[in-house]
């Protein structure tokens, strides 16, 4: 699907593209990129410049993400999950609502954090300046950063104390919004819909398995978990639950999710004490 190249000029007559029912996403040329070489990023008091990241991108990134940032580098056929296509401006790990661009800090964090269970390493050895420059470079691949502003990061209220009530309430949220449809009632990534999931490009994708002790792709702190289900992971089947989970309920869910993990935690100890059972998928709504 990626290989179907459609000329950018076609977009100028956008009305003419209606007949396209297959995914045939546009591809930029070197010329388009050259014109955006002045792209900047702002991380705290550091300003990143796209042009300064050219050498680093070539040294570290181009092998997967490609000269044109389209994720079609030489390793594309061999790596799974596939490298991100920066031209689309769609990113999993955001602090901003679904359908919006991430803020610079999100990309900055992702570069250092890497993406667990993928070929994206933790580039934590870079200087902050290098990472900021690379953020600007990543942005210069997509015209979205010219026409749109990044979303407003979602509000994360201060983390409350972990209590048995909150963990039980979190279990109710897990049942109510039906996380188990994909993640399974025990978080083993074996829900009824798990096997048929595909990403936005139609490639098979697995839901996160909480029971393996692996790190979630977008971070493993409590705040990261909060962000993940409230913003969704764009480009994947993971939707945003921002409309359906209230912020205080969200903390309950975070605590409950911790009980599914194999790691020792306060949440897990409480769950054991409560003899908490997995949610019942057949129970009528609201009667767990």
Partner 1 sequence: MRVSRRSHLRNISNFAMPLFSVALVLVSVVLTCSQPANALPAFARKYGLRCSACHESWPMLNYFGQKFKDNGYQLMNDRDAPIWQNPGYWPVTFRIIPLWHRVSTGKVLVDTYSSGNPSPTGSAVQRLTKSGFDLSGLDFHTGGTLEKNFSFYVLPSSDATASFHFETVMARLDNLFGSGWFNIKLGKFELDNLLSEKRILTLTGNGGIYQLYHFIPQGDGNIFGQMGDNQLGVELMGHSYSDRTRYSAALLSSNNGTVQLPYGNAYTGFFAASQAFDTGKAGVQRVGFYAMVGQAPTTFLTSGGPTGPIPGSGIGNKSFSREGFVGQFYFGQHVDLQVVTQHGQDSAWFGQGYGDFIDTGATTTCNGGQPCNNTTGTVLPAGSQGPTWNGILFEPHYVYSPQLIFIGRYETIRMSRQANGPDSASPSASNFGNISTYTIGYRYNPFMTSRAGFAWHNEYNWLHQDGTGPTLGLTSANVNTSELLLGFDFDF
Partner 2 sequence: MRNRYNLAAVLSAVILVCCGALILGQKVNAAGEGKITGTVKLDGTAPHMKGIDMSKDPYCSKAHASDPGHLETVLAGQNGGLENVVLYISEGLSGGALTEVPTEVPVFNQKNCMYMPHVLAMDVNQKFKVVTSDQTAHNIHPLPNPMINVGWNQSQPPGAPAVEKSWKAAEVIPVQCNIHPWMHGWFVVVKGPYATTDANGSYTINNVPPGNYTVTAWQETYGTQMQKVTVAAGKPGTADFTFKAK
Name which of 274 and 283 has its Cβ closer to partner 2. Answer: 283
Length of the chain: 288
Among 155, 196, 263, 287, binds partner 2 (CB under 8 A): 196
Smallest gap from residue 82 Cβ to partner 2 (A): 15
Q: Tell me if 171 sits within 8 A of 265, measured CB to CB.
A: no
As a whole number of angstroms, the distance between CA 267 and CA 278 comes to: 14
Q: Please name the residues in contact with 251: beta carbons below 8 A apart, sequence gap of 6 or more.
A: 157, 159, 160, 166, 170, 222, 226
Read off the tokens for 22: 């297959």
Smallest gap from residue 118 Cβ to partner 2 (A): 20
120 binds partner 1 (CB under 8 A): yes
As a whole number of angstroms, the distance between CA 168 and CA 255 comes to: 9
Beta-bridge mates of residue 198: 204
Residues 37-76 that bind partner 2 (CB under 8 A): none
Smallest gap from residue 104 Cβ to partner 1 (A): 17
At which residue do the structure tokens 């902050």 appear? 128
Name which of 121 and 202 has its Cβ closer to partner 2. Answer: 202
Among 188, 201, 214, 242, binds partner 1 (CB under 8 A): 214
Cβ neighbours of 138 (radius 10 Å): 29
Among 2, 24, 40, 75, binds partner 1 (CB under 8 A): 75
As a whole number of angstroms, the distance between CA 168 and CA 165 comes to: 5
As a whole number of angstroms, the distance between CA 223 and CA 177 comes to: 19
45 binds partner 1 (CB under 8 A): no
Q: Which residue stretch of 55-63, 135-143, 168-176, 238-246 sits at the interface with partner 1 (rule: CB under 8 A)?
A: 55-63
Residue 149 binding result from partner 2, partner 1, none, given CB thresholds of 5 to 8 Å by partner type: none
215 binds partner 2 (CB under 8 A): no
Could you give the 3-state DSSP secondary structure of residue 58? helix
Q: Which residue stretch of 12-20, 51-59, 111-119, 252-260 sits at the interface with partner 2 (rule: CB under 8 A)?
A: 12-20
**Binding footprint of partner 1 on the chain (CB under 8 A):** 52, 55-56, 58-60, 62-64, 74-75, 78-79, 112, 114-130, 214-215
């Amino acid at each position: 699907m990626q290989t179907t190249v459609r000329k950018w000029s076609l977009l100028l007559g956008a009305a003419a593209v209606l007949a396209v029912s297959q995914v045939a996403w546009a591809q930029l040329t070197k010329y388009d990129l050259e014109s955006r070489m002045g792209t900047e990023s702002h991380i705290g008091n550091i300003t990143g410049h796209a042009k300064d990241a050219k050498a680093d991108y070539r040294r570290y990134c181009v092998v997967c993400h490609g000269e044109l940032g389209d994720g079609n580098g030489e390793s594309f056929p061999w790596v799974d999950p596939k490298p991100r296509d920066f031209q689309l401006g769609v990113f999993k790990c955001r602090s901003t609502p679904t359908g919006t661009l991430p803020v610079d800090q999100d990309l900055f964090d992702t570069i250092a954090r890497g993406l667990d269970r993928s070929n994206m390493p933790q580039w934590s050895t870079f200087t902050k300046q290098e990472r900021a420059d690379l953020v600007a470079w990543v942005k210069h691949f997509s015209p979205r950063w010219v026409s749109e502003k990044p979303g407003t990061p979602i509000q994360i209220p201060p983390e409350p104390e972990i209590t048995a009530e909150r963990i039980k309430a979190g279990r109710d949220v897990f049942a109510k919004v039906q996380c188990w449809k994909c993640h399974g009632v025990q978080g083993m990534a074996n829900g009824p819909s798990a096997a048929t999931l595909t990403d936005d490009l139609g490639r098979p994708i697995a839901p996160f398995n909480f029971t393996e002790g692996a790190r979630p792709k977008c971070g493993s702190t409590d705040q990261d978990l909060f962000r993940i289900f409230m913003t969704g992971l764009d480009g994947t089947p993971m939707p945003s639950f921002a409309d359906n989970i209230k912020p205080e309920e969200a903390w309950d869910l975070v605590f409950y999710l911790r009980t599914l993990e194999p790691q020792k935690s306060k949440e897990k100890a409480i769950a054991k004490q409560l003899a908490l059972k997995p949610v019942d998928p057949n129970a009528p709504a609201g009667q767990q």
